[in-house]
Amino acid sequence: MMDIEKIKNELKDHVVDAVREDAKNATLVWLKDKVLPAAKEVAETYTAALRESAGNETGWNKFRDTVFLPTLLDGAFWLFDKALAKMLMQAEG
């Protein structure tokens, strides 16, 4: 037979698990809805400035500023967005 303390402790343990999971999901939503769009906006400004400065560059520096760095940033944001979407989808269902 379970006493009241065991039941109370069991309930507290499960409440903590639910809150933790809710907090994790809320963090993922915040990252996807708030942080990612703001970071993308900053990155777009940076890549526009890179491309503008590439007009004064030649060779590998031009490639770096027009292709490599913008593609690297776009790829990182794409990957981050897809990973967040998958984690949120998994959390929902």
Q: Average pLDDT per run of 10 along the chain, which is 93 residues long? A: 77 77 88 93 94 92 95 96 93 74
The predicted structure's pLDDT at residue 2? 63
Residue 88 near residue 25 (C-beta atoms within 8 A): yes
Which sequence spans correspond to the domains of the chain?
40-93
- Angle at alpha carbon of residue 40, lines to 35 and 81, rounded to 5°: 70
Spatial CA neighbour of 90 closest among 40, 39, 24? 24
pTM above threshold 0.85: no
The predicted structure's pLDDT at residue 93? 67
